[in-house]
Amino acid sequence: MPVTPLRLIVNGASGRMGRAVLDRARADARWQVAAGVVRAGSALEGQPIGGVEAPGAARYGTRFPALDAVAVVIDFSTPAGLAAALDACLQARVPLVTGTTGLDAALEARLDAAAAAIPLLRAANFSLGVALLTRLLRSAAAALPDWDLEILEAHHARKQDAPSGTALALGQAAAAARGVALADVAAIDRASAAGARRAGSIGFASLRAGDIVGEHTALLAGPGERLELTHRADDRAIFARGALAAAAWLAGRAPGSYALEAVFDAAP
C-alpha cells in the first residue's frame, strides 16, 4: 500500500548536518522535503533544493514558511537558529527534532517549557553507537564508583562549542548513575584550577583538528587498571539517519519531551 510521505522542513539546511539530512530525505520516498531554512543573507535563498529548477520545487528560504501540512521540523543549526525554529513550531504546533548543541540556560528552559505544547525530541548525538555507549557508561560508572572518570572528545576544526554536547550528555549520564549532579563534579577548565585531581570529579578534554566527524572516549581509571569506552563517527550520515528516524517516530505524537532512547527501543 503506498504510504503518504511526511512533509519535512530542515533548519540549518546549508550546514554540514542540514545537507546530510536533506540528501537522505530526498532519496527516501517516505519523506517529502517542503523547504530548507538557511541563515539571513544566504546566497541560497530562493534556490531549489538539489539545484534543479522545476515548478513546485522545494526551495531554500531565510524564514520559516507556513507550517500547515508540515509533519515535522528537523533543526541542526545554531542556538539562534534553533530559537527561530522553536518559535515557528510553537506557533503552528508542529513537532521539532533538534540536534543543535551549545545552548544557554535560557534556551534550555524555553525548550523545556515548549514540550508542554509540542512534541519535542532533543539529542546531543543521533547515533545508535553513542546511545549504546551512554548505556555502557552508565553501568560502568555505577559499577566502578571510585574510579576516576574522564571524557575525551575530538571534532573538526570549525566546531563552535566545547566540550561537545555529546561529551556533556555522557558526563550527565555518568553523574546520574553515581547519584550526583554533573554541575557539582564537572572539571572542564583545569588550566585555571591547578592542583591534584579532585576525587569524584568528572573531567573533560576537547581536541579540535581537521575534519574529524566526532570521537568520544570515556576513560575510567582505577588502581593499576583502566577501562576505555570509545565511539568514533566516520560519517555524519549516521546522525542524519538517526534524526530522520526520530522525526518519523515523533510526527503525530502528543506534546512532550522525548528521548532518542525511546526511538531506538521502538526500532524493529
* Shortest reach from residue 236's CB to ligand NAD, in Å: 6
Give the chain's largest Cα–Cα span: 67
The binder of ligand NAD chosen from 17, 25, 70, 245 (CB under 6 A): 17
**Which one, 7 or 122, has the nearer CB to ligand NAD?**
122
* Shortest reach from residue 194's CB to ligand NAD, in Å: 30
Taking CB under 6 A as the rule, does residue 129 contact ligand NAD? no
Cβ–Cβ under 8 Å, residues 83 and 114: no
Taking CB under 6 A as the rule, does residue 39 contact ligand NAD? yes
**Which one, 14 or 134, has the nearer CB to ligand NAD?**
14
Q: What is the chain's percent helix, strand, coil content, to nearest 5? A: 35, 25, 40
Pick from 185, 155, 161, 188: nearest CA to 173: 185
* Cell numbers at 133, concatenated: 555507549
10 Å CB burial of residue 221 (0-12, 13-18, 19+) is middle
Which are the contacts of 183, defined by CB distance < 8 A and separation ≥ 6?
Answer: none
**Beta partners for 153?**
206, 216
Q: From edge to edge, which strands make up the β-sheet containing 6-11? A: 59-61, 31-37, 6-11, 72-75, 96-98, 119-122, 256-258
By CB under 6 A, which span of 31-39, 64-72, 176-184, 189-197 interacts with ligand NAD? Answer: 31-39
Taking CB under 6 A as the rule, does residue 11 contact ligand NAD? yes
Place of cell 552508565: 138
**What residues numbered 42-81 form the site for ligand NAD, per CB under 6 A?**
76-78, 80-81
The binder of ligand NAD chosen from 5, 102, 129, 200 (CB under 6 A): 102
Rounded to a whole number, what is the distance in angstroms from the first to the last CA of the chain? Answer: 20
Taking CB under 6 A as the rule, does residue 24 contact ligand NAD? no
SS3 3: coil
Active-site position among 155, 156, 216, 231: 155
Pick from 106, 108, 110: nearest CA to 90: 110
Alpha-carbon distance 43 to 182, whole Å? 42
By CB under 6 A, which span of 95-103, 105-113, 134-142, 251-259 interacts with ligand NAD? Answer: 95-103
Active site residue 155: yes
By CB under 6 A, which span of 7-15, 44-52, 174-182, 198-206 interacts with ligand NAD? Answer: 7-15
Active site residue 156: no
* Shortest reach from residue 145's CB to ligand NAD, in Å: 29
Taking CB under 6 A as the rule, does residue 134 contact ligand NAD? no
**What residues numbered 139-198 form the site for ligand NAD, per CB under 6 A?**
165
Taking CB under 6 A as the rule, does residue 239 contact ligand NAD? yes
Which are the contacts of 137, defined by CB distance < 8 A and separation ≥ 6?
Answer: 170, 173, 174, 177, 218, 229
By CB under 6 A, which span of 32-40, 104-112, 182-190, 217-225 interacts with ligand NAD? Answer: 32-40
- Positions marked catalytic: 155, 159
State the residues that interact with ligand NAD by CB under 6 A: 11-12, 14-18, 37-39, 76-78, 80-81, 84, 99-102, 123-126, 165, 236, 239
